[in-house]
Amino acid sequence: MRLPRTLAHLARASSRRIYTLSTFDLNHKINDCVRNGNVNDARKLFDEYPHWRNTVSWNTLINGYVKTRQLSEAQKLFDQMPKRDAVSWNTMLSGFRDAQNPQKAHQYFLQMIERGSMPDELTFAVLISAFLDTDFNVLIPQLHGLVMCLGLDLNIYLGSALMRGYIGLGDRLGFRRVFDEILVKDVVPCNVLILGYMEFGLISAAKKAFDEMPERNAHSWSILINGFMKNKEVNEARVVFDRMSEKDVVSWTAMMRGFVQCEKFMEALDLFVLMMNSPTRPNNYTFSSVLDACSGCSSLVMGNQVHACILKFGIPLDVVLATSILDMYGKCGDIDAAFRVFQSMSTKNLVSWNSIIGGYGRHGLAYRALEEFDRMVKNNIIPDEISFINVLSACVHGGMVKEGEERFNSMEAKYGIKAEMEHYSCMVDLYGRAGQLEKAEEIIKVMPFEPDVIVWGALLGACGLHSCLELGETAANRICKLEKDHPVVYTILSKIYGENGVRGGVFQLGKMIQKWRARKQKAGSWIESCPAAI
């Protein structure tokens, strides 16, 4: 028997109704899983109901993979999608941005246009943020032009990203023009305005912008503090910090970090103690800065306490924090502890290896430093210019001239790394200390830059060590031309004059010291802090 016509209609209508409801439900459920970080559950739902999927389901799941850093899974899904919209492309772009892969972001953007998807404001916001601080940042003004051609709005997302783009390019006018052209502003572009002014050293403009803000949030205060610190205005930063009614972990950390950057290590540690007595709890960022402060004043006692504190708080030891700890031990004189931390790390990156190599070098264990360098290369980590600074200075302290020479020559030949001023000054130091002063002089002659104070200082130091009068005077003269009133110059020169029996020279130097009111430079050591730690 056939169903009456009206009933059949009803059945079809209700099945359609169920169909749309279920797609809505499915997407909500997938989104809930993704928000809770359960991508696998989201995937199960996605696989279970293939007929209910629409583009939103695909996009949501792709976003789940992107957010959990499973880019290859995201890419697989993206390739299988029957129909991609701007959201799909934007999601992939944000994944490449988070993975710091501007090439891929660029490539996908071109594909997006080729395949006829229309980019929107967010596409450009994400793309610009992917290009920030990379070689691709030269494309940002072109993207800006494209935004204008397409007639897109300069909304708060796109506007803030563009402002940051121009800040990165050092384009003060472009940055300011974009701010003025943002149609409806909220607190974020105003914060970026302060950030930019501070970056360009326009402190009073930044202050004015801060004072005139219609509303402020935690970011505004931290940006201001950071800006003052960047411009070495420590006192101004402190005034702002003290004015803050609700200090959060970021503002505390920014303040400590600033003290460390201005080499005010004790102030940083004092602030840490204050923070521990406040309701705010430190995080891994805080501890990185505090450990840096411990290294700065070579206080193993404090360093040990901070390490214990990290364990007590149960802060997860990621690569960055573990590296900070090992670096602290290396700089505070406990190289064994540094190596234990290094060995215990399940993932090590280039910075971790550089840290341990630097630690061994600093302790005069040049062989160990070179061993670790070779072990690093074997582990498929490609050395950078800092690896070589550490390796070469290890050779300097270990007096390993031949090894140092070999490593220096391998830099460009093997790894394509151009030697910088620091590498050349290591070589001058290396030859100089070994008494090969002609070779040291030769390095200065062949280096492709105008030698700086450190290079001449290395040569002068070597001349002091080997009582070389003529070359010592040359080096001292060059240093005085570059930087007046350098106390070490007088100390070493008077030693050279004394040992060469040039009494007139000693007398003249005495007068010069009086004239410049130069004092013998103070020396520092971590030895005094060791016994307390044992």
Partner DNA sequence: TTCGGGTCTC
Q: Which residues in the 26-45 window bind DNA by CB under 7 A?
A: 27-28, 31
Q: Does 474 bind DNA (CB under 7 A)?
A: no
Q: Does 265 bind DNA (CB under 7 A)?
A: no
Residues 454 and 420: beta-carbon distance below 8 Å: no
CA 67 from centroid of its chain's CA atoms: 21
- Burial of residue 417 (CB within 10 Å: 0-12, 13-18, 19+) is middle
Tell me the number of residues near DNA by CB under 7 A: 74
Q: Report, in Å, the least distance between residue 295 CB and DNA.
A: 7
- Using CA atoms, how far residue 107 sits from 308, 355, 438, 495, in Å, is 47, 35, 52, 63
Among 26, 33, 140, 250, binds DNA (CB under 7 A): 250
Among 153, 171, 270, 384, binds DNA (CB under 7 A): 384
Helix (H) or strand (E) holding 391: helix 385-398
- Binding span for DNA by CB under 7 A among 252-260, 298-306, 418-426, 484-492: 252-260
Q: Does 253 bind DNA (CB under 7 A)?
A: yes
Dihedral pair phi/psi, residue 245, rounded to 5°: -80, -40
Helix segments in 434-529, DSSP class H: 437-446, 453-465, 469-482, 487-499, 503-516
Among 39, 45, 71, 94, binds DNA (CB under 7 A): 94
Residue type, 280: T
Q: Report, in Å, the least distance between residue 16 CB and DNA.
A: 21
- Running DSSP on this structure, what letter comes out for residue 212? T
Which residue from 214, 270, 215, 283 is spatially nearest to 241, judged by alpha carbons?
270
Is 113 or 465 the residue whose CB approaches DNA more closely? 113
Q: Does 298 bind DNA (CB under 7 A)?
A: no
Q: Report, in Å, the least distance between residue 480 CB and DNA.
A: 30
HSE toward the beta carbon, residue 68, CA cutoff 13 A: 18
Q: Report, in Å, the least distance between residue 447 CB and DNA.
A: 22
Q: Does 286 bind DNA (CB under 7 A)?
A: yes
Residues 125-164 that bind DNA (CB under 7 A): 125-126, 129, 156-157, 159-161, 164
Is 146 or 386 the residue whose CB approaches DNA more closely? 386
Positive or negative, the Cα torsion across 196, 198, 202, 204?
Answer: positive
Is 24 or 507 the residue whose CB approaches DNA more closely? 24
Is 92 or 475 the residue whose CB approaches DNA more closely? 92
Q: Does 187 bind DNA (CB under 7 A)?
A: yes
| The pair of three-digit structure tokens given for residue 292, joined into one six-digit string | 């840096």
Transcribe 2-24 into DSSP letters.
PPPHHHHHHHHHHHHHHHHHHHH
CB atoms within 10 A of CB 38: 14
Q: Does 393 bind DNA (CB under 7 A)?
A: no
Q: Does 199 bind DNA (CB under 7 A)?
A: no
Among 102, 165, 168, 189, binds DNA (CB under 7 A): 189
Among 274, 351, 421, 469, binds DNA (CB under 7 A): 351
Is 144 or 486 the residue whose CB approaches DNA more closely? 144
Q: Does 392 bind DNA (CB under 7 A)?
A: no
Q: Report, in Å, the least distance between residue 93 CB and DNA.
A: 8
Q: Does 323 bind DNA (CB under 7 A)?
A: yes
Which residue from 385, 395, 461 is spatially nearest to 423, judged by alpha carbons?
385
Which residue from 22, 13, 88 is spatially nearest to 51, judged by alpha carbons?
22
Transcribe 90-110 into DSSP letters.
HHHHHHHHHTT-HHHHHHHHH
Is 250 or 460 the residue whose CB approaches DNA more closely? 250
- Binding span for DNA by CB under 7 A among 110-118, 121-129, 332-340, 492-500: 121-129
- Binding span for DNA by CB under 7 A among 44-52, 58-66, 100-108, 110-118: 58-66
Taking residues 500 to 519 in sequence order and writing x for each that binds DNA by CB under 7 A, - otherwise, the string is --------------------
